[in-house]
């Protein structure tokens, strides 16, 4: 019979390494890994190799013990020399470390280079070799991350929650949010761009957002625009419309704080959509070329418009590339009027609660 463990003896923690750099939406969906790890390996010590853009969000998660940050611009944009430099930075940070489990959240062999010096008892990846290493088409990606870690494929995954984000601390956005009258409707007309590419087929046309803003303002809610600095082009489209423009003016954590204190978000398939899942805001999600079942969980607080639902060409995204399409009729099928009516009904429902 084994001797009883003394109080000063610590239980060996499972050491787990996760590699997922970006983009924002992909990293948010991968956060189900944290919840799944906590279920299967309570108290695990988690190290995450991430990109600089998503670092603030991951830093606000208490369950992650160590972050190793990759400079995405060096890795993706600065040619072979930049890639070698970024990889070398990660190798130095991982040198001499041993993990019980290493999780590479990519299909491309390129990312395997980042983990070459890692010593690990178990190596998991998403290479697509078989069912164990593949996302099953049509399933929510967050559930698929969890499935591969938990080794189970049943109803329990429907209750998978994202870990809680720590939003404590001072922020100028807090007072700004208080000063904006309710109800607060947030629109995210930009997005669909990341460091690797631009996927404009996913975007609901900015003219639709403008018309929606005008109709909403007639009903007296506050309309707020959000987005990254790269979405600055949207600003000129709303000149003369009485919106609160916060495009390029909020950090990722401030954006989550804003969602937490607002009523409804309207957006297409963007990183903003996924960030909003880390709050309790009502989401109206607009989809066309992408299967929304792969982006929105069955228990998430989101209502979906899928303009491509009855089109034989939709979805046209294969997990890597979109179709060569010059007329995204799938997004054009979503009318301003039906989105407006859904917002009004949502506000009425919330008021009755």
Q: What is the mean pLDDT of residues 59-81?
A: 91
Angle at 108 between CA 19 and CA 199, to 5 degrees: 95
Same domain, 182 and 69: no
CATH number for the domain including 336? 3.40.50.2000
Do 319 and 268 reside in the same domain of the chain? yes
Strands of 264-268's sheet, edge to edge? 244-245, 222-225, 184-188, 264-268, 282-287, 302-306
347, 215: one domain: yes
Taking CA atoms, 312 is separated from 97, 307, 309, 317, 326, in Å, by 50, 12, 8, 13, 16
SS3 for 116? coil
Within-domain flag for 166: no
Tens digit of pLDDT for each residue in 189-212?
A: 997 665 455 578 899 999 999 999
> What does the H/E/C string look like for 270-285?
CHHHHHHCCCCCEEEE
Whether residue 191 sits in one domain with residue 326: yes
Residue 120 is predicted with a pLDDT of 93
Please write the tens of the pLDDT for every residue from 17-43.
999 998 899 999 999 999 999 999 999
Element (H, E) at 45: strand 45-51
| pLDDT tens digits, 209-267 | 999 999 999 998 999 999 999 899 999 999 999 999 999 999 999 999 999 999 999 99
Q: What is the pLDDT of residue 1?
A: 36
Total residue count of the chain as it appears in this document: 353
Domain assignment present for residue 301? The answer is yes
pLDDT of residue 63: 93
Residue 3 has pLDDT above 70, yes or no: no
**Count of domains observed in the chain:** 2
How far is it, in rounded angstroms, from Cα 115 to Cα 273? 30
Within its chain, how far is the Cα of 334 from the centroid? 23
pTM of structure:
0.90
Domain presence at residue 5: no
Tokens of residue 120, six digits: 């690990």
Residue at 202 is within a domain: yes
Boundary-marking domain end, from 107, 131, 159:
159
Q: How confident is the model over 150-168, as a mean pLDDT?
A: 79
209 lies in the same domain as 106? no
131 token code pair: 């069912």
How would residue 7 be classed by pLDDT, with cut points 50, 70 and 90?
A: very low
Residues 237, 198, single domain; the answer is yes
The enclosing H or E element of 47 equals strand 45-51
CA distances from 141 to 147, 225, 236 (A): 10, 27, 35
Same domain, 204 and 268: yes
- Record the tokens describing residue 57, joined without a space: 């969000």
Of the candidates 134, 159, 184, which is a domain's last residue? 159
Residue 152 resides in a domain: yes
Residue 203 lies in a domain: yes
CA distance 352 to 345: 11
The rounded mean pLDDT for the chain is 89
Instruction: Report which secondary-structure segment, H or E, holds 306.
Output: strand 302-306
- Model pLDDT for residues 287-341, shown as the tens digit of each residue: 999 999 999 998 899 999 999 999 999 998 887 788 888 888 999 999 999 999 9
- Are residues 193 and 338 both part of a single domain? yes
- State residue 73's pLDDT score: 85
| 226 and 315 assigned to the same domain | yes
pLDDT of residue 5: 37
Q: Say if residues 267 and 188 touch (Cβ distance below 8 Å).
A: yes
* Pair (102, 148) in one structural domain: yes
Residues of the domain holding 181? 175-352
Say whether pLDDT at 128 is over 70. Answer: yes
CA-to-CA distance for 254 and 136, rounded, in angstroms?
A: 34
Residues 6+ apart with CB under 8 A from 113: 87
Distance of CA 326 to the CA centre of its chain: 27
Task: Count CA within 13 A, CB hemisphere, residue 32.
Answer: 28
Tokens of 222: 């506050």
Q: Is position 8 within any domain?
A: no
Q: Are residues 346 and 272 in the same domain?
A: yes
Are residues 328 and 197 part of one domain? yes
Cβ(244)–Cβ(225) below 8 Å: yes
Last residue of a domain, one of 159, 184, 218: 159
168 within domain boundaries: no
């Amino acid at each position: 019979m084994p001797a009883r463990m003394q109080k000063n003896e610590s239980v060996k923690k499972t050491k787990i390494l996760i590699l997922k750099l970006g983009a924002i939406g992909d990293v948010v969906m991968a956060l189900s890994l944290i919840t799944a790890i906590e279920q299967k390996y309570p108290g695990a010590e988690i190290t995450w190799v991430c990109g600089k853009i998503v670092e603030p969000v991951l830093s606000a998660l208490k369950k992650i013990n160590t972050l190793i940050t990759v400079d995405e611009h060096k890795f993706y944009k600065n040619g072979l020399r930049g890639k070698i430099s970024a990889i070398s930075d990660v190798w130095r940070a991982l040198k001499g470390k041993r993990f019980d489990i290493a999780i590479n959240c990519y299909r491309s062999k390129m990312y395997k280079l980042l983990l070459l010096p890692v010593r690990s008892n178990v190596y998991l990846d998403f290479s697509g070799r078989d069912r164990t290493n593949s996302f099953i088409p049509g399933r929510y990606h967050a559930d698929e991350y969890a499935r591969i870690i938990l080794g189970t494929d049943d109803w329990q995954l429907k209750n998978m929650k994202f870990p809680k984000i720590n939003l404590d601390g001072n922020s100028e956005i807090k007072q700004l949010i208080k000063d904006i009258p309710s109800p607060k409707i947030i629109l995210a007309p930009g997005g669909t761009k990341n460091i690797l590419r631009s996927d404009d087929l996913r975007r609901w046309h900015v003219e639709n957002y403008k018309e929606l803003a005008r109709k909403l303002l007639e009903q007296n809610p506050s309309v707020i625009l959000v987005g990254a600095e790269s979405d600055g082009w949207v600003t000129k489209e709303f000149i003369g419309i009485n919106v609160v423009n916060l495009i390029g003016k909020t950090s990722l954590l401030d954006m989550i704080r804003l969602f937490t204190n607002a009523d409804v978000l309207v957006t297409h398939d963007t990183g903003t959509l996924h960030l909003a899942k880390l709050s309790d805001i009502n989401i109206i999600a607009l989809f066309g070329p992408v299967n929304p079942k792969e982006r929105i969980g069955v228990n998430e607080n989101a209502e979906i418009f899928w303009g491509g639902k009855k089109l034989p060409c939709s979805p046209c995204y294969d997990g890597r590339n979109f179709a060569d399409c010059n007329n995204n009729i799938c997004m054009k099928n979503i009318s301003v009027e039906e989105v407006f009516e859904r917002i009004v009904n949502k506000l009425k429902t919330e008021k009755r609660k």
